[in-house]
Amino acid sequence: MSALGELRRVKGQPVARQRKQNKVAFLFLLPWFIGLALITVGPMIASFALSFTRYNLLSPPRFNGLDNYVRMLEDERLHKALAVTFQYVFVSVPLQLGLALLLAIVLDRGLRGLSLYRSAFYLPSLLGASVAIAILWRQLFGVDGLVNIVLGWFGIEGQGWISNPETALGTLMILNVWTFGAPMVIFLAGLRQIPVMYYEAASVDGASRRQQFRHITLPMLTPIIFFNLILQLIGAFQSFTQAFVVSGGTGGPVDSTLFYTLYLYQQGFANLNMGYASAMAWLLLVIVAALTAINFWASKYWVFYDDQD
């Protein structure tokens, strides 16, 4: 074999090995791609097509153009559902992140039994969206619930917090705030990554704890805050179980807990308006995508990355 042929053979070995590794990696990823196509992309395409039809599950879909989207402009219950959902998201998510950050800072001070506290605080995040917790919440805030019993100890007459339209949504916000465990754990991990030398240098310069928090902790945590904000924002828009269980699936009283997802469910599975429900699902996707894009655009003004100039 000539020298040139030997050189080609030697050069070809890494390429062949890399191709073999790529095939192995692709085989491991293949189940995920199949799931993506069958469980995510396929239903999304079908949902988009159904959004231009009148479909009740019992007869074949009939094309009706943009009627479903035009109908959404005149649907007062949909507007109410949007108002309730926006109120729920924009009030509960900041409160949840604020509480999570506060507790993460407290736990970061090196308390004894940190693992126990961390597990105890994380537990609500696992259970908060469950049916059992929603039922428990309904009992807690009922007329004869624990909340009114505690208020009675202080001479305060309670009420049916869930049956009152003015307070029903507030109870669901409290439930969402209570599930602060997941963002708290992420905040705690972020706090542990801040180099101690920054605080030492600030202490030498005479900076107080408040100044250290404002000028070191918060800027260094902004990527974590941004990450948690995006996750919790998307999750809050998808909230369903709590409103369904607490209101008995009606969104009551007086549509005060009518989340967008609950109204979508009513249209799709109670009224069998699958075409209209599909159009509503795409509107929700557009809203979440738009808010996420706005947050990414705004992040360049307040999120600090360590590798920035």
Q: What is the pLDDT of residues 69-98, one digit of tens each?
A: 999 999 999 999 999 999 999 999 999 999
Mean pLDDT value across residues 112-124: 73
Radius of gyration over every alpha carbon of the chain, rounded to an integer in angstroms: 26
pLDDT at 249: 87
Mean pLDDT value across residues 247-257: 89
First to last CA, the chain: 54
Q: What is the mean pLDDT of the chain?
A: 87
3-state secondary structure the chain: CCHHHHHHHHHHHHHHHHHHHHHHHHHHHHHHHHHHHHHHHHHHHHHHHHCCEECCCCCCCEECCCHHHHHHHHCHHHHHHHHHHHHHHHHHHHHHHHHHHHHHHHHCCCCCCHHHHHHHHHHHHHHCCCHHHHHHHHHHCCCCCHHHHHHHHCCCCCCCCCCCCCCHHHHHHHHHHHCCHHHHHHHHHHHHCCCHHHHHHHHHCCCCHHHHHHHHHHHHHHHHHHHHHHHHHHHHHCCCHHHHHHCCCCCCCCCCCCCHHHHHHHHHHHCCCHHHHHHHHHHHHHHHHHHHHHHHHHHHHHCCCCCCC
What tens digit of pLDDT does each residue of 19-56 get? 878 888 889 999 999 999 999 999 999 999 999 999 98
Distance CA(188)–CA(190), nearest Å, equals 5
